[in-house]
Structure 1
Amino acid sequence: MSDLSGIVKAYDIRGVVGEQLDAELVRDFGAAFALLIKPDSPSVVIGHDMRDSSPGLAAAFAEGVTSQGLDVVSIGLASTDQLYFASGSLNMPGAMFTASHNPARYNGIKLCRAGASPVGQDSGLTEIRDTVQEGVPAFEGQPGTVTERDVLDGYAAHLRGLVDLSGGRRLKIVVDAGNGMGGHTVPTVFDGIPGTPIEIVPLYFELDGSFPNHEANPLDPANIVDLQAKVREVGADAGLAFDGDADRCFVVDERGEPVSPSAITALVAVRELAKEPGGTVIHNLITSHAVPEIVAEHGGKPVRTRVGHSFIKQEMATTGAIFGGEHSAHYYFRDFWRADTGMLAALHVLAALGEQDGPLSELTAAYQRYSASGEINSTVDDQVARQLAVKDAFSSRPGVTVDELDGLTVQLDDGSWFNLRASNTEPLLRLNVEAADDTAVRALTDEVLAIVRG
């Protein structure tokens, strides 16, 4: 029986991440995953990032899979969305070894079924955990085989086939890969664009799982400082920052100012709706209210969901949505097996920029209608009690509506709103506030935090 205590940091919606994942435990995960998908799939595709421990852990997982009689296709170094491409194009379940944006000491596993379909707590992850903890039963048959396959060129060609960048004006773009997998994927994707209308200025493209320059977490403003400075220094048209496994992409404009993921969601949604008028677009409940407004104005159908990969993908499958976006810069495309790919979102932004003469700040201004606080974390002794105190304080006010689809969302009669959600892994409450302007955001934020922290 494998002991997960003291190892697992977060058993979350896509897999497991921890500080001390060892080969024996990961082998058990591979065997348990093989048992889960064996009735439907004879093979598993496996990729890994550039962390020092990733190749060994990927090999251990492959050993577990083959021990149950299934075959493995190893794609080696890959971004997470490259692994999703392999899962979709090869129609195989997949495992990606990465800790994404987490610090260097972490590693983890992201899992999917064939066609990049999600494996969530209610769709296999809990079953895998229980199998590992109870002990994986031995398989008496012939073990499977491991073959290697390079899918990078196919991944890049597929993305380029979804966005036409050949006719736009020439752009200079700074890309900060953060020593993560963007340094692996960006050159191949952009080098193959016909006419080379985009000049890439690279920052930290060297693959290095110790992250010597900054953490590969662009959500933290401290980690995009170098990108902002380089954009201003070279007079670039925009900047892109990828996280460690390069499935998320953050954008800064020509001034070095961040463009909110909600604005990117709205921009891409408008482009996708131009291709398929009347389509459905998914947005999570923390995304700016500008997103559903803009989707509706362009003839689309906005659908609101809970925060999280598996919820977004499930709703996309149910509704046939063409696109989905989250406040955390995860962007999901029907034409990419409903999986998230920051690279494809970045290509859309650059295509939109190249099609007009103005700067990116002018282009994105139309999609940024409100002010927002960003996510504010508060450590609390009792998440439920603090959340209930906030609900009691606001629910009796006239014109206020409250829903609990995901945490507590409160809509005020002046159009401002906030969401307060409990972390699943830490004693935190996460607050997001949106209002008409910065003054209103600060006032509402201070009022909520006074209750949360009081």
Structure 2
Amino acid sequence: MSDKKRLFGTFGVRRTANDVLTPEFASRLAACYGTQIKGTVAVGGDPRTSTPMLKEAVKAGLLSSGCDVVDLGILPTPGVQYAVRKYYDGGVMITASHNPPQYNGLKFLDEFGIGIPDEMDFAIEKLYFDEEPDRVPFNEIGQIYHNDKIIDEYVDEAISKVDAEAIRDAKLKVVVDCGCGAGSYTAPYLLRKLGCEVTTLNSQADGFFPGRDPEPIEENLQELIKVVKELGADIGLAHDGDADRTICIDEKGNFVLGDKTFTLVEKQMLKENDGGIIVTTVATSQAIYDIAEEYNGEVIATAVGDLLVARKLKDEDGLFGGEENGGLIFPDFVYGRDAVMTVAKILEILAKEKKPLSQLVSELPVYYAKKMKIECSDDQKEFVMSSIAEEIQNTTDFELDLTDGVKILKDDGWVIIRPSGTEPIFRCFAECDSQEKADEMTAWGIGLIKKYKK
């Protein structure tokens, strides 16, 4: 069996809708997954225009393989993960997360609400391409149920895990930008339940994403930054399309990098629990290690991918984890990146510390980062990576970490060069003790990719 996946990326299958990702494709793939699960499967989706079509196809495929289906409606990915962990045997989320509107995807979950492991990806692909999924006789076809209460339960459960009274007493002024995504159904309600004064931007679900591109990067959040400053808000919050990531804007209108948010929450979690295991990826900031050392934490690093972090948190009974892109994981709530819990926790920190966000961030260890990406066709990725690794090993004495891509560790920082699992690009991140060096190291990394790419 080849170790290269034929359909799956880092988490599920993502393609352009109705081109590769047709109803027939979705239905057959869901039947292959249903053949593995043989139980009750929850299905949810994000507000993309192609979601209703794909959702019905997925439900049909699951029913044909003998699974019962519970339709959860349109909601964030972590809402489905929460539901599966609590009540069901598996789950399918129809989403393309932060990709542009023409994309969609299928994320498959195991019974813990974690993205399915590699061996199940391979088993599903084998059924899809080489064999046939189970198609049960007419009297064993599954039933369809609906659960429209899960969203409220999911939000209320997150609130129960923080000091809601402290947050209500702080009367925080919050601007939230849901990017017309699934967060429109959760974020404004969560904030109001926590007694915040709420201003919403792009909080009407719309699969054409008219307000902004769904990826919450700084250039897409200029409107949010402006409104935070004009209203004198305490914080600005932004989510991606399926509301599993959260990006913060401080009260001065500064964009707060995802790893700063991670480090801030990590510090709080370690203080509250007197230490614990923190899981993150090899592409995350040194600051996370510094904070762990200071507050009795232990850091475990995985390859990039939130489902790998989630699985490791479960296996190691970890306290907290996440990635550098604003995706934070609270394993006692959802085994996956979750925006509802992230927002509740950040507001709790603001309320309890009684300091503005800019000050809380300024108290964290300081490193300078730079991120770049460059196009590279999928069939060249292996060659480019192995050539770079070989060059570094043969010509320098830098330490290499090959957990995921090529991470080159120098005395004053590091650079990681890794291929995207979902797009024909390489990403290059560097972190150093000065911005100038971070920029130089990233440019050096991009130069290495260009050298070997045809």
The alignment's TM-score, normalised by the length of structure 1, stands at: 0.91
Q: 1:132 aligns with which of 128, 138, 142?
A: 128
Indicate if the aligned counterparts of 1:35 and 1:68 stay in contact, CA closer than 8 A.
yes
Shift of 1:399: 6.0
> Structure 2 CA distance, aligned partners of 1:358 and 1:337?
28
For residues 146 and 329 of structure 1, do their structure 2 counterparts lie closer, same or farther at Cα, with a shift above 3 Å needed?
same
3-state SS of paired residue (1:11): coil
**Match in the other structure for 2:46:** 49
Q: Tell me the alpha carbon deviations over residues 134-178 of structure 1, each in whole angstroms, 9 at most, x when there is no partner.
A: 332421242111111121110011110111132142211110011
> Structure 1 CA distance, aligned partners of 2:312 and 2:353?
33
Indicate if the aligned counterparts of 1:389 and 1:451 stay in contact, CA closer than 8 A.
no
After the TM superposition, which residues 339-418 of structure 1 pair with which residues of structure 2 at under 5 Å, given as runs? 339-379=336-376, 382-388=380-386, 390-391=388-389, 394-395=392-393, 400-413=398-411, 415-418=412-415
Indicate if the aligned counterparts of 2:373 and 2:425 stay in contact, CA closer than 8 A.
no
3-state SS of paired residue (1:174): strand
3-state SS of paired residue (1:209): coil
For residues 451 and 96 of structure 1, do their structure 2 counterparts lie closer, same or farther at Cα, with a shift above 3 Å needed?
closer
> Structure 1 CA distance, aligned partners of 2:422 and 2:156?
38
Q: Does 1:324 align with 2:324?
A: no
**Match in the other structure for 2:302:** 305
> Structure 1 CA distance, aligned partners of 2:28 and 2:396?
55
> Structure 1 CA distance, aligned partners of 2:410 and 2:330?
32
3-state SS of paired residue (1:47): strand
Shift of 1:188: 2.7
Q: Tell me the alpha carbon deviations over residues 346-378 of structure 1, each in whole angstroms, 9 at most, x when there is no partner.
A: 221111112233321111112251000024335
> Structure 2 CA distance, aligned partners of 1:428 and 1:50?
26
For residues 228 and 142 of structure 1, do their structure 2 counterparts lie closer, same or farther at Cα, with a shift above 3 Å needed?
same
For residues 14 and 379 of structure 1, do their structure 2 counterparts lie closer, same or farther at Cα, with a shift above 3 Å needed?
closer
> Structure 2 CA distance, aligned partners of 1:129 and 1:319?
29
3-state SS of paired residue (2:61): helix
Moved more, 10-19 or 23-32: 10-19
**Match in the other structure for 1:3:** none
For residues 138 and 445 of structure 1, do their structure 2 counterparts lie closer, same or farther at Cα, with a shift above 3 Å needed?
closer
**Match in the other structure for 1:31:** 31
3-state SS of paired residue (1:18): strand
Shift of 1:443: 2.6
Shift of 1:446: 3.0
> Structure 2 CA distance, aligned partners of 1:93 and 1:382?
35
**Match in the other structure for 2:185:** 184
Q: 1:260 aligns with which of 228, 244, 257?
A: 257
Shift of 1:115: 2.2
Q: 1:234 aligns with which of 227, 231, 236?
A: 231
After the TM superposition, which residues 132-211 of structure 1 pair with which residues of structure 2 at under 5 Å, given as runs? 132-133=128-129, 134-140=131-137, 141-150=139-148, 151-168=150-167, 169-193=170-194, 196=195, 198-211=196-209
Shift of 1:451: 3.1
Shift of 1:184: 0.8
- Structure 2 stretches lacking a partner, 5+ long: none
Q: Which AA in structure 2 matches 1:157?
A: D
> Structure 2 CA distance, aligned partners of 1:271 and 1:288?
17
Q: 1:250 aligns with which of 247, 252, 261?
A: 247
> Structure 1 CA distance, aligned partners of 2:73 and 2:6?
25
> Structure 2 CA distance, aligned partners of 1:123 and 1:162?
34
> Structure 2 CA distance, aligned partners of 1:448 and 1:77?
40
Q: Tell me the alpha carbon deviations over residues 53-90 of structure 1, each in whole angstroms, 9 at most, x when there is no partner.
A: 21222122111111222211111111111111111221
> Structure 2 CA distance, aligned partners of 1:112 and 1:158?
21
Moved more, 340-349 or 201-210: 340-349
> Structure 1 CA distance, aligned partners of 2:363 and 2:307?
30
The alignment's TM-score, normalised by the length of structure 2, stands at: 0.91
Q: Tell me the alpha carbon deviations over residues 165-211 of structure 1, each in whole angstroms, 9 at most, x when there is no partner.
A: 32142211110011111111113322323xx1x11110011111011
3-state SS of paired residue (1:110): strand
> Structure 2 CA distance, aligned partners of 1:188 and 1:264?
22
3-state SS of paired residue (1:188): helix
After the TM superposition, which residues 89-104 of structure 1 pair with which residues of structure 2 at under 5 Å, given as runs? 89-104=86-101
Q: Percent identity?
A: 29
Indicate if the aligned counterparts of 1:13 and 1:119 stay in contact, CA closer than 8 A.
no
Q: Which AA in structure 1 matches 2:126?
A: D
Shift of 1:259: 1.1
Shift of 1:267: 1.4
For residues 385 and 111 of structure 1, do their structure 2 counterparts lie closer, same or farther at Cα, with a shift above 3 Å needed?
closer
> Structure 2 CA distance, aligned partners of 1:393 and 1:27?
45
**Match in the other structure for 2:269:** 272
> Structure 2 CA distance, aligned partners of 1:375 and 1:346?
27
3-state SS of paired residue (1:314): helix
**Match in the other structure for 1:5:** none
Indicate if the aligned counterparts of 1:44 and 1:92 stay in contact, CA closer than 8 A.
yes
Cα RMSD of the aligned pairs, angstroms, is 2.1
For residues 386 and 44 of structure 1, do their structure 2 counterparts lie closer, same or farther at Cα, with a shift above 3 Å needed?
closer
Q: Which AA in structure 2 matches 1:180?
A: G
3-state SS of paired residue (1:374): strand
> Structure 1 CA distance, aligned partners of 2:396 and 2:324?
29
Moved more, 168-177 or 349-358: 349-358
Q: Tell me the alpha carbon deviations over residues 292-311 of structure 1, each in whole angstroms, 9 at most, x when there is no partner.
A: 11112101111111111232
3-state SS of paired residue (1:339): coil
For residues 279 and 214 of structure 1, do their structure 2 counterparts lie closer, same or farther at Cα, with a shift above 3 Å needed?
same
Shift of 1:397: 6.9
Q: Which AA in structure 1 matches 2:184?
A: G
Q: How many residues are paired up?
A: 438
> Structure 2 CA distance, aligned partners of 1:189 and 1:224?
21
> Structure 2 CA distance, aligned partners of 1:388 and 1:9?
21
Shift of 1:389: 5.0
For residues 31 and 427 of structure 1, do their structure 2 counterparts lie closer, same or farther at Cα, with a shift above 3 Å needed?
closer
Indicate if the aligned counterparts of 2:10 and 2:422 stay in contact, CA closer than 8 A.
no
Q: Which AA in structure 1 matches 2:206?
A: D
